[in-house]
Amino acid sequence: MKIPIKKILLYSGLVLLGLIVVFLVCRTLLHLGDVGAAISGIAGSLRAIILGCVMAYLLYPLTRFTEQLLLYYRVKKKAARALSTAFSTCVLLALIVLFAYIVIPQLVFNVPPLLQNLPNMMREFAQNISDYLVAHGQSADIVKTISLKIANFFDNWLKDLPLDTFLDLADRVFTAAKNLLNFIIGIIVMVYLLMSRDQFVGQGKKVLFALCRKRTTCDRILKHLRVINKIFSGFVSGKLLDSLIIGIICGVCLSILRIPYAMLISVIVGITNIIPVFGPFFGAIPSAFILLLTDPTKCLIFIIFVIILQQVDGNIIGPKILGDSTGLSAFWVLFALLLFNHLMGFWGMLLGVPLFASFYYLLREFINARLRKKNLPVGTQEYVDVAGIDENGTISYIVPNTIEFHPLFHGEDSLLAQLKQRLKHPLPHSKAQDNAPDSSSEDDDQAP
């Protein structure tokens, strides 16, 4: 049989492509360090572009809402697009200025005195523990030794801090200038993306319809992309709003309770609350440690308040704002945090949950589609008691094992009835002696 020349060329191209892929994979595995350095360099050079894309993605809902409002009042489309973009940019800059106005004074006025007083606070705290141990007849040598080492460490660190700061000043100034430049470029990129978002969306769909043979495939891909966008936008925007509310509530309540460093602790709690599950602990533990050195009673009040606040956040505020945006159970949220923290570090803890939720959604849709092709149910609970499926697709179920409590508590021969009978009619003393082992015979047998 004669093979068409088109198939020969196609198979030859596939073989060549496979060899190229194998060669590239081998080269990558042999030079993982160089590949990582190259990827880091590319990501560093495109940091401003990535920052602009992130800011545009976060501000898109506000920009779209503002544009639709202007169009409703019959503003021209180009003017509405420009005004909505300018309004979103002003909102972003205002939030950054407000955040800096709140955070920077707290850092300037609270952190340096706290660092300077930290050795004395450690000594006073250790002295209180030592006095308590001595008053109760215990030795306090270990506490004094440990506190002295910690205090000396902080003293040396504070003495060397000006020298280290002076030596690193040029590097820090250069890094700050570079970050500021990236931020300015990111603002420009964000404005360009928001102004030309229709063009970018159209180009992406154009490429998608050109590469896919079937329209149903394009529709399916677009559907999945919309769901993933809903997961990310709902989680990120909801978590930011939730953290802002928690920070405000924490600041007001700590001020009422007269907790030291109330505003600084509120900023820490609000920022770390962005991280799911572990965020409250990251913010509460160092704050509680500072309060423990300052006033143990205030530390106990703060711990109780944080527990109550997190319960309110987890059961009332969080569900109202976030809802079921991810569709993940508590186990998979914890799994995603641990996995992406290992893979991506801090950013993995921030974005690990929506990333894993997107993967979980795609895997669930794939499995459900395969089950529907086989005319099988897609509900998870329907497979709990499944024993097997035959060749005709008939599902057989097993009867779950249950514990029979009736023979234990009901009936004349039940365990409860026997126990009551034994309590009413205990064994006579003579029978108990008869049933007991004869120790004298054993002693006689062991005697020489």
- 138: which 2 tokens? 């215990």
> What pLDDT score does 271 carry?
85
- Which is more confidently placed, 17 or 192? 192
pLDDT digit string (tens) for 160-219? Answer: 555 455 455 556 667 777 788 888 888 999 999 999 888 888 898 898 888 888 888 888
- 175: which 2 tokens? 């890094």
Banded model confidence at residue 38, pLDDT cuts 50, 70, 90: low
Phi, psi of 387, deg, nearest 5: -90, -35
- Which is more confidently placed, 272 or 3? 272
Q: What percent of the chain has pLDDT over 90?
A: 6
Helix (H) or strand (E) holding 395: strand 395-397
Angle between helices 169-195 and 77-135 (to 10 degrees): 140
> What pLDDT score does 147 carry?
67
What is the pLDDT averaged over residues 273-301?
Answer: 81
pLDDT digit string (tens) for 133-164? Answer: 667 666 666 666 666 666 666 666 555 555 45
Report the C-alpha gap between 348 and 72 in whole angstroms. 40
Q: Among 254, 234, 253, which residue's Cα sits nearest to residue 242?
A: 234
- For the beta carbon of residue 377, count every other beta carbon within 10 angstroms: 13
Q: Among 151, 303, 157, 317, which residue's Cα sits nearest to residue 239?
A: 317
What is the pLDDT averaged over residues 12-27?
Answer: 77
Neighbouring residues of 75: CB distance < 8 A, sequence distance ≥ 6: 83
> What pLDDT score does 247 carry?
87
∠ CA(289), CA(290), CA(292), 5° rounding?
60
Angle between helices 47-72 and 32-45 (to 10 degrees): 40
User: Measured in whole angstroms, how far is the alpha carbon of residue 91 from the centre of its chain?
Assistant: 27
pLDDT digit string (tens) for 55-110? Answer: 898 888 889 999 999 998 888 988 999 999 999 999 999 988 887 777 777 666 66
CA dihedral 302, 306, 308, 314 (to 10 degrees): 180
Q: Helix H segments across 345-447? A: 346-373, 406-409, 415-424, 429-435, 439-446
Q: Do 146 and 126 touch, CB atoms closer than 8 A?
A: yes
pTM of structure: 0.66
CA of 129: how far to CAs of 12, 126, 192, 303, in Å? Answer: 79, 5, 61, 20
Phi, psi of 294, deg, nearest 5: -80, -55
- Does the pLDDT value for residue 367 go beyond 50? yes
CA of 111: how far to CAs of 102, 117, 295, 298, 321, in Å? Answer: 14, 10, 17, 19, 33
Q: Among 383, 350, 355, 356, which residue's Cα sits nearest to residue 368?
A: 383
What is the pLDDT averaged over residues 240-268?
Answer: 86
- For the beta carbon of residue 106, count every other beta carbon within 10 angstroms: 17
What is the pLDDT averaged over residues 369-397?
Answer: 78
**Dihedral class, residue 295 (left if φ above 0, else alpha if ψ from -120 to 50, else beta):** beta
- The 10 Å CB-count burial string (b at 16+, else e) for 137-171 is eeebeebbeebeebbeebeeeeeeeeeeeeeeeee
> What pLDDT score does 426 carry?
61
What is the pLDDT averaged over residues 288-307?
Answer: 83
Report the C-alpha gap between 278 and 56 in whole angstroms. 28
Report strand pairing: 395-397 vs 386-389: antiparallel
> What pLDDT score does 448 carry?
39
- The 10 Å CB-count burial string (b at 16+, else e) for 356-368 is bbbebbeeeeeee
Q: Among 243, 270, 239, 278, which residue's Cα sits nearest to residue 254?
A: 270
Report the C-alpha gap between 287 and 268 in whole angstroms. 8
